Amino acid sequence: MLQCSMEYLLVIAVLAGIAAAARGTRAVAPTAGRITSRYGNRLGRTTRQEEWHAGVDFSGPRGTPVVAFWPGVVERVGHDADRGAGFQGYGNVVVVKHPDLTVWSLYGHMDSVAPGIARGAQVSAGTPIGAIGSTSNGKFPTMPVHLHFEVRRAKEDGSSPFPGQYSQFNINPEEMLAQLGIRYNDQGQPA
């Protein structure tokens, strides 16, 4: 049974970042724009009740490019027209496995998925994977345009956390990005 603390995952991220820097790999922000909703408890946009948010949301105009933040392999691609395929609510979504970080990243609510992005595709940091949008498989019809970005650790048995229960294996993506040199200030702007 594999269990990892957040501190362990951050140490792995730092070590991977050092090794990647030696290979010339650098993390990149998943999109231009600022963070408009952070990881953790937040006030629900429509319910005005406190709710858990298992990722970070980036604002930007519809069609703003979304890129892989780190090298990896595309594990799953979901489309807005898909219903009940394990990604209900994420709309156009891409999941990338990052073996050297032992995490997976999710890019959701995209307007579109980039050409060539399919299961098994190798991506580098900065490879276009889609565009900011507001797709949600019809679950959130009034949702504003944004990118929902998540990072998850492996399940206890080491397997993929996707699809899986929202927030069960999530780690703070902003902290992961910071450990790899991508930081945002209190207003969500790139620092």
Each residue's pLDDT tens digit, 28-60: 999 998 999 999 887 776 667 888 889 999 999
Q: Is the per-residue pLDDT at 125 higher than 80? A: yes
Give the per-residue pLDDT at 149. Answer: 97
Residues sharing a CB contact under 8 Å with residue 59, sequence separation 6 or more, in sequence order: 33, 34, 36, 144, 145, 146
Q: What does the block give as tokens for 167?
A: 């927030």
Domain presence at residue 1? no
Q: Which domain holds residue 88?
A: 6-179
The model carries a pTM of 0.85
Q: What is the DSSP string of 86-136?
A: S-TT--EEEEEEETTTTEEEEEEEESEEPTT--TT-EE-TT-EEEE-B---
Give the per-residue pLDDT at 76. Answer: 93
Separation CA 138–CA 146 (nearest Å) = 15
Give the per-residue pLDDT at 141. Answer: 82
Domain CATH code at residue 112: 2.70.70.10
Domain presence at residue 191? no
Q: What percent of the chain has pLDDT over 90?
A: 61
Domain presence at residue 184? no
Specify the number of domains making up the chain: 1
Q: What is the mean pLDDT of the chain?
A: 85
Give the per-residue pLDDT at 25. Answer: 62
